[in-house]
Amino acid sequence: MNILLTVAYDGTNYFGWQKQKERISVQQKVEEALSRLLKNDISVRGASRTDTGVHALEQGVFFKAETTIPINKFPFAINPFLPEDIVVSKAVEVDDNFHPQYSVLKKTYEYKILNSRFKIPQLRNYTEFVHNELDIEKMQKSCRFFVGEHDFKAFCAAGSTAKTTIRTIYDLTVQKNNNIISIYVTGNGFLYNMVRIIAGTLIYVGEGKIKPEDIKYIIESKDRKKAGKTVSPNGLTLFKVCYI
């Protein structure tokens, strides 16, 4: 049986999604819970590696197992085996052609910024704090320059092993609700740190350090140094994964 879970997690206390030696990961916790529930060693694969401190609302998690638990009851069965910062919200059966990464059609990330004079402690693990008042309209005007198929080399962290730096962004929006600015970006795939560099570049626009139309030239330059800084992982959430 091929099972796809939708998993939410608070990444604050984990060294990212991916299993590692001697450092606690979300993948390890999910595998331990499934292995205990199903009384069998279970290995899982995620749709997306998320870094240390990055959160997920709907991470896709795939595994193979034999079970008599009805698939729609599976979240209720597995949640008691998970720590309180990891929650399974959905389980579906998928066919043999399904692949946890290659079957991904598009992914959406959310990046949250607290734009205020002082930090709000309750938001410290879930937002990037920006003290300077950001011009939300300018940030919104920048969005259209990102949309489409582009070589996003300027928005890729050094040391990436990606075969190509060409990606397609389907949608990018910036919203403001009181002093929280939320950036939503949907694409067919993302380079290493790409969303955090896009967010950092949008902050530069909001601060007036660069103009909205400069985005076009930054993309064309393919030069990481021209884009904004890589902002903190805390503000980042893997928001949604859509499969074929």
By beta-carbon proximity to its own copies, the closer residue of 67 and 79 is: 79
Nearest approach, Cβ of residue 88 and its own copies (Å): 8
Shortest distance, position 121 Cβ to its own copies, whole Å: 4
User: Contact at 8 Å (CB) between 234 and 160?
Assistant: no
Let me know: does 42 contact 31? Beta carbons within 8 Å. Answer: yes
By C-beta, is 24 or 147 nearer to its own copies? 24
Print the binding letters for residues 82-111 with its own copies: x by CB under 8 A, - otherwise: --xxxxxx----------------------
**Which tokens go with 57?**
């609302």
Residue 102 vs 118, nearer CB to its own copies: 118
**Min dist. Cβ of residue 117 to its own copies (A):** 7
Using the rule CB under 8 A, which residue among 3, 4, 10, 54 binds its own copies?
A: 10
| Binding piece for its own copies, criterion CB under 8 A, among 80-88, 98-106, 167-175, 191-199 | 80-88
Nearest to 114 by CA among 235, 12, 195: 235
CB-based contact 19:43 (threshold 8 Å): no
Give which of 155, 131, 175, 125 is closest to 220, Cα–Cα. Answer: 155
Active site residue 51: yes
Q: Could you give the string, one character per residue 109-128, with x where binding to its own copies holds by CB under 8 A and - elsewhere?
A: --------xxxxxx-x-x--
Write a three-state SS string for 207-232: HCCCCCCHHHHHHHHCCHHHCCCCCC
